[in-house]
Structures are given as structure tokens and as C-alpha cells.
Chains A and B, each alone.
Chain A
Amino acid sequence: DAKTTQPPSMDCAEGRAANLPCNHSTISGNEYVYWYRQIHSQGPQYIIHGLKNNETNEMASLIITEDRKSSTLILPHATLRDTAVYYCIVRVAWGAQKLVFGQGTRLTINP
């Protein structure tokens, strides 16, 4: 599975949009981009995933660049409960099922 690079930490004001970047320059054509988050002392929570089109659900939006070498997770109106470590993972959906976690981005939402 391709490796990803994320900033170790970010801050965002409550109520503003939080934009979390992820670089995955070695991504293959059949690899998806997944985002999970882990709130302190809890198991990871699935957020969203995509292949090449932008995706949106009730939690977030995922913007993938045209060359697929990077993506951005957008939390449109961040709340204090969004404070967590966010993991960007790329993997083949239909092949090996295991998720390999990097170090993620520690997002802190400030009041």
C-alpha cells in the first residue's frame, strides 16, 4: 500500500472549516484514499473514502486532486468534538483488507 504524508498537528477555530491535507504521491490507480479519526482513548472512526471523484457525506468532504497525488479532508464547521487524530490511508479496496496506519494529524479545535 502507498505511503502517506500528513502534518503532525493542526489547529482550527470552532465553527470554521478544518482542512486536513494528505500527500500520497505514489498512489496506484486502483488504490482508494480513506480517512479515519481517533478521538482520545477510543477506537478509530471511519469518516469517508474515495477513488478519484470528490466525495461528501454527513461528516466531511474529500477533495482529491486530478493527479490523485494528494487529497484534503474538509470538516465544514468544526466543533470541539472534532478534536482527534486524523489518519489518511491509501489502499486497494478489493485486495488485502488490512489498514496500515501512519502517524496522522492531531487536530485541535479551539473555542
Chain B
Amino acid sequence: GAVVSQHPSRVICKSGTSVKIECRSLDFQATTMFWYRQFPKKSLMLMATSNEGSKATYEQGVEKDKFLINHASLTLSTLTVTSAHPEDSSFYICSLRVNQETQYFGPGTRLLVL
């Protein structure tokens, strides 16, 4: 069965609004989750590492004030895209570390900003 869920699976919003995407661990307590972004026909790009109870670690070039990450519990991490613009339209995917060797990915959230 699924290990990771994401909500919503699809979202359309107007430019300038904020969108929150949830990533839930269904079977494991995850101290670390990861957020990726994928543009059409491109590979996944890591955006940030979400750490439970502390600040997220962002990859170079990712604006932390635009992509707000909150990891308030061991089963939930949220990504909020603030003041969304059409160029933020993408496929957002989270993952969690199950053990030292394995990560499982969520089904992804497709964001379209009009």
C-alpha cells in the first residue's frame, strides 16, 4: 500500500495567491522529508530538505521565502508556494526516508498557476 500521500493531487490557482501542499507519511514517523519539483519532460530537482521541529534546508537557487516549508509533526510536512506566478506551475513531489537506505515518494501534486 501507499507509504506517502499528497494533497491536493491537482490545484489551479490565480497568479498572486498562495497554495499549500501537504505531504503525509502513512506508515512511518519521518524526521526528514524532501520536496522536489519537476517541469514537463525534465528530471526531478530537489528543492529542500524538511526537518521535523527545525528549519528546512533549501537547495541553492530555491527561495526560502517563496517556498515555505513546515514540518510540524513526524507525519506531516507542508509546502506553501507564496505569491504564485505562472512560472511556478510544476509537478511537486515529496519523499520521506524510511530507513538509512530507502526513500519513498508521494504521488505528486500538479500545480497550475493562471
Chain A interface (Cβ < 8 Å from any Cβ of B)? 32, 36, 38, 41-46, 49, 87, 93-94, 97-104
Contact = CB atoms under 8 A, between A and B. Distances in A.
B102 interface: yes
Interface size, B (range): 20 to 34
A101 B43 contact: yes
A34 to B, nearest CB: 8
A46 B103 contact: yes
B46 A46 contact: no
Contacts of B49: 97-98
Given A44-B95, A46-B105, 11 more contacts: A32-B101, A41-B110, A42-B107, A43-B95, A43-B106, A87-B43, A93-B101, A99-B46, A100-B46, A101-B43, A101-B44
B34 A43 contact: no
Nearest to B108: A43
B59 to A, nearest CB: 8
Given A43-B4, A43-B93, A99 B100 contact: no
Contacts of A49: 101-102
A42 B100 CA distance: 24
A54 to B, nearest CB: 17
A43 B107 contact: yes
A99 B103 contact: yes
Given A41-B91, A44-B44, A104-B43, A97 B108 contact: no
A91 to B, nearest CB: 10
A26 B100 CA distance: 22
B101 A98 contact: no
